[in-house]
A and B are shown apart, each in its own frame.
Chain A
C-alpha cells in the first residue's frame, strides 16, 4: 500500500493537503519532500484532510509536527479534519490532540472558520 498527497488552495491564502494511504517509515520521506515548500514559506492556514489516511506511525507524525511548527512561525494554524479511528488513536496515545485543532468533518471545519472570520470582522 502506498501513500499519496495532493495540494489544494484553501480559502484565502490557505493550503489543503489531502492525504491518502499509509504514512509510515517508508512513505514519510516522500511526504516530507512534497511539503518542503510549505516548510520554507508556511501558509497562514494549513488543513490536513486525512479522510483517506489509513495508518500513521511516528515517522509520519514527525512531518505533521514539523508542519505545525512551521505554521506557528507565521502565527498561522494547522487544522486536521476527517481522522479515521486508527489515526485518531495514534494522536490520542501521544496526547497530541489538545494542542491540535481537529475537526470531525469538513462542515465542522467550515463552521469554525466562518465563526473566526466573523469575530475578526467585529474587531
Chain B
C-alpha cells in the first residue's frame, strides 16, 4: 500500500490542508507585500522629504547669512558720508564677511553721492585676490539691470534670477540687492542699491556635496522664483541649458518645448511654491525617479530632492525575496507535517481495513491489530474487535440454527414419507375392482400438510373412496391426518355405509381434540355393476362428474359438518347412478385454490371445463388435472396439498355409440378422435385402434371427396359397436349414390405402386384391412358396413 491513491484519505487530507494553507498564505503574503511596498514608499518619500528639508535649511542659512551681511552693509552705507575709498573698504569688508559672496556692489542713486558725480563700485573675487571695478565706466547702463532696477523701483530687497553678467563678474550668479534710503525732510529718498552676488558655480558644488551627505544617489534641483534652474546636477543638461550656456529660459518653457509635460508640470508646481512628491522618468537618466519638492523661505526658490526608484525597489525586492524564501520553507514544512500526519492516521486505518477483509473470509482466524492510541481510529479497532467476537458468536448460533433446521427438515421429510406410505398404493396395471377404473394422487406442498385419500375395494365388488383435507398445516395436521386415515381404513373395511363411516370417524376425531383440528371429507361407495354411487359429505368440496357426452356437473351435496368439531354431528347420504364410461372426480381445495403468479385461482369452472371424458383412463384424467393445475400455477409456489381421485365406470360390452360427422376434411379428424377414445375406453387393442382409425379416415375421406366433391356440407353418421369378439363400424351418408368398392378404381396391387392410379389407394387399404366390408344403398343413403375381428385374449 505504498502507492498513494488519488482518492485516498491521505491524498485528500494533503490536498485540502495544503490548499487552505496555500490560499491563506498567498493572501497574507500579498497583503504583506502591498503593505510593505506602501511602507517602503512612505519611507522613501519621508527620506526625500527629510533630505529636502535639511537641504532647504542649509540653503536658507546661507541665504540668511548673505542677506544679513548685505543688510548690515546697507545700514553702514546709509550712515557714512559717501567717499570712494570708504566705499572700496566697505565692499571689501562684505566680501570678507561671507565666503559665499562672490562679489558686491554699492551703486549710488544719481545725484546722491556727490552732486554732479555718478558713483557705483563693484568688487569681486579672482584667483589672485579681489578686483575693484568702477561700474559707471564699465557698464554705464547698469541701472537697467535687474539687480539695481528692481530694488530701486520697488524699494524692497530682491533676489535676482540667475544671470551672467559679462561686464562685471563674468560668472553665472544670482544677486541679492537692497535699497538704501536716506531720510530727508521731504521724506525718504533712494540713496543707493547695495548688492551681493552669489556665484552659482561655487554653490552648486557645495549643495551637491551636502546632498551626497544625505544619500549616495540623491540629487538636488533648485529652481528660482522665475522657474530657472539654479543647480544642474539633477538635470539633463540638454534639457536645461540654453545656447548661451546660461539658464535663462525657465525650465517649464524648456520642458514644454521638448514635449516633456511631466517635467513642465513639476517645474510649474515648484515655481508656484507647492510642496509635494511625484515620480517621473528621464529627468536626468532613463530611470524612474522619486522627487520631493518644497519652497525655500523668502527667496521664492524651490528645492527638489531626487531619489532613484531602483534604489528604493532594491530594498523592497530584497525584503520580498526574504519573504518568498520563508514562505517556501513554510509550505515544505507544512507538506511534511501533513503527509506524516496523514500516514499516521491512514496507516492504522489500512491495517483495520485489511483486518476487516480477513474477518470477512474467516472471522475467527483474523487478527485485528491493537492500536496504542486513544483516538477515533483506536475506537474503530475496538469496534472491529468486538464485531469479530459478535460475528463468531453469531456464526456459532447460525450454525446451530442451521443444524437444527436441517435436522427438522430431515425429520419433516421422514414424516412426509411415513404419511405418504399411509395412503393406499394403487396397482399400476389392472383395477382394484371389476368394472371400475380408479386412480388417485396426492402432491404434497412443501410443508407437511393434511390431505388424505383412501380407496378400499370391498368384498362385495364395490369400491369405497374417501378424500379429506385436514385444517391447518404442519406436524399437528400431519398427525391428525395419520389418525384420520388409519381410522377411516379400519371403518371402511367393516363395510360401514358412508354416512355412518363419517359419523363414527367424527366421534373418534372429536375425542381429546383440544386443539380443535378438523377434517373436511367426502366418502362414497360405487357399485361398478349397477353404477349406483352412494356418498356423504362432511364439509368438503363437491365431487364432479363428467358424462361421456355433454358438460361436467358438480354433485349436489347434503350439508354436513367437518369432522372433529361436533361429536353429535350426523351425515346424510345422497345417491346417483353413474353411466358406463362416466367419470367421477373427487379433489381437495389444493386444486381449485391453486394460484397463478398473479394470485388468480384455478377455480371450479376451469376444473369443470377440462375434457376429462376424452382422457383414455382414470390415470390419464388424474395426470391431466394435475398437468392443468401445474400449467396454470406456472412459477407460483404450491401452497397446499393437491389431491385428485378419479373413478370411471368401465364401458359395458356390447357397447354401442353413434356420432355425426359434419363438414369437410377437418371433421374427419374429429370423428377419428372420437372413435379412438371410444375404442380405448373399451380396452380395444392399440394396433386395432390404429387400423380402425385408418379405415374410418379412408371411408370418410372418400365420402367427402367423392360423394360430396369436397363440399363443406358433407355429412355422415357413424355407428360403433364393440363386443367381446368384434368391432363393427357403419357409415351412413345421404349423398348421391356412390359405391366405393366398385366406383373407386381398384388398384392393381401386383404392379409397382408407383405405377398405380393413386386415387384408389385408400379403398384398397380398407379392403385389405377389413375382415368384412359391404356397401348398399338404403333409403336414399349410402351405407358401408365394416367388421373387424378383435384379437383373441
Partner-B contacts on A (CB < 8 A)? 24-26, 55, 57-59, 61-62, 65, 68-69, 72, 85-86, 89-90, 93-96, 99
Give how many B residues have a beta carbon under 8 Å from the other chain's beta carbons: 26
Question: Counting CB contacts under 8 A, is B701 at the interface?
Answer: yes
- Cβ of A57 and Cβ of B754 under 8 Å apart? no
A62, A90, A95, A99: which contacts B758 (Cβ < 8 A)? A62
- Cβ of B753 and Cβ of A93 under 8 Å apart? no
0/1 interface trace, chain B 12-43, chain A, CB 8 Å (1 if under): 00000000000000000000000000000000
Interface residues of B in 748-793 (CB under 8 A from A): 749-750, 752-754, 758, 761-762, 764-765, 768-769
A24, A59, A94: which contacts B753 (Cβ < 8 A)? A94
B669, B672, B698, B752: which contacts A58 (Cβ < 8 A)? B698
Question: Counting CB contacts under 8 A, is B666 at the interface?
Answer: yes
Q: How far is the CA of A68 from the CA of B758 in the complex (A)?
A: 13
B687: shortest Cβ distance to chain A, in Å? 7
Knowing A93-B768, A94-B764 are in contact, say whether A68-B697 is a contact too (CB < 8 A). Answer: no
B668, B687, B691, B752: which contacts A25 (Cβ < 8 A)? B668
Question: Counting CB contacts under 8 A, is B349 at the interface?
Answer: no
Chain B residues with CB below 8 A from A25, complex form: 665, 668-669, 697, 701
Question: Counting CB contacts under 8 A, is B479 at the interface?
Answer: no
- Cβ of B665 and Cβ of A93 under 8 Å apart? no
- Cβ of B761 and Cβ of A61 under 8 Å apart? yes
Q: How far is the CA of A65 from the CA of B752 in the complex (A)?
A: 11
Given contacts A26-B669, A93-B765, 14 further A-B contacts (CB under 8 A): A24-B668, A25-B668, A25-B669, A55-B694, A57-B694, A57-B762, A58-B701, A65-B758, A86-B687, A86-B691, A89-B690, A93-B769, A94-B747, A99-B754
- Cβ of B669 and Cβ of A24 under 8 Å apart? yes
Chain B residues with CB below 8 A from A96, complex form: 753
Question: Counting CB contacts under 8 A, is B308 at the interface?
Answer: no
Chain A residues with CB below 8 A from B753, complex form: 65, 94-96, 99
Question: Counting CB contacts under 8 A, is B623 at the interface?
Answer: no
Interface of B is mostly: helix
Question: Counting CB contacts under 8 A, is B182 at the interface?
Answer: no
B691, B701, B764: which contacts A59 (Cβ < 8 A)? B701
Partner-A contacts on B (CB < 8 A)? 665-666, 668-669, 672, 687, 690-691, 693-694, 697-698, 701, 747, 749-750, 752-754, 758, 761-762, 764-765, 768-769
Q: How far is the CA of A67 from the CA of B672 in the complex (A)?
A: 27
- Cβ of B669 and Cβ of A94 under 8 Å apart? no
Q: Which residue of B lies closest to A57 (CB)?
A: B697
A8: shortest Cβ distance to chain B, in Å? 26
- Cβ of A26 and Cβ of B764 under 8 Å apart? no
Q: How far is the CA of A25 from the CA of B699 in the complex (A)?
A: 11
A24, A65, A72, A85: which contacts B672 (Cβ < 8 A)? A24
Q: How far is the CA of A5 from the CA of B753 in the complex (A)?
A: 24
A28: shortest Cβ distance to chain B, in Å? 9
B697, B701, B749: which contacts A94 (Cβ < 8 A)? B749
Q: Which residue of B lies closest to A26 (CB)?
A: B669
A22: shortest Cβ distance to chain B, in Å? 8
- Cβ of A58 and Cβ of B762 under 8 Å apart? yes
Chain A residues with CB below 8 A from B672, complex form: 24
Residue of A24, A58, A85, A96 with most chain B CB atoms under a 10 A cut-off: A58
Q: How far is the CA of A90 from the CA of B765 in the complex (A)?
A: 8
B697, B747, B752: which contacts A24 (Cβ < 8 A)? B697
- Cβ of A94 and Cβ of B765 under 8 Å apart? yes
B707: shortest Cβ distance to chain A, in Å? 15
B661: shortest Cβ distance to chain A, in Å? 12
A93: shortest Cβ distance to chain B, in Å? 5
- Cβ of A55 and Cβ of B690 under 8 Å apart? yes
B481: shortest Cβ distance to chain A, in Å? 40
Closest 8 pairs (CB-CB, A-B):
A58-B762, A86-B690, A26-B669, A58-B761, A25-B701, A96-B753, A57-B697, A93-B768
Q: How far is the CA of A99 from the CA of B693 in the complex (A)?
A: 26
Chain B residues with CB below 8 A from A26, complex form: 665-666, 668-669
B762: shortest Cβ distance to chain A, in Å? 4
Q: How far is the CA of A95 from the CA of B752 in the complex (A)?
A: 9
Q: Which residue of A lies closest to B769 (CB)?
A: A93
Residue of B672, B747, B753 with most chain A CB atoms under a 10 A cut-off: B753
Q: How far is the CA of A24 from the CA of B700 in the complex (A)?
A: 12
Chain B residues with CB below 8 A from A90, complex form: 694, 765
Chain A residues with CB below 8 A from B768, complex form: 93-94
Q: Which residue of A lies closest to B749 (CB)?
A: A95
A-B contact pairs, 26 of them (CB 8 A): A24-B669, A24-B672, A25-B669, A26-B666, A26-B669, A55-B690, A55-B693, A57-B762, A58-B698, A58-B762, A58-B765, A59-B697, A59-B762, A62-B758, A62-B761, A65-B753, A86-B690, A86-B691, A89-B690, A89-B691, A90-B694, A94-B765, A95-B750, A95-B753, A99-B752, A99-B754
A72: shortest Cβ distance to chain B, in Å? 8
Chain B residues with CB below 8 A from A99, complex form: 752-754
Chain B residues with CB below 8 A from A62, complex form: 758, 761
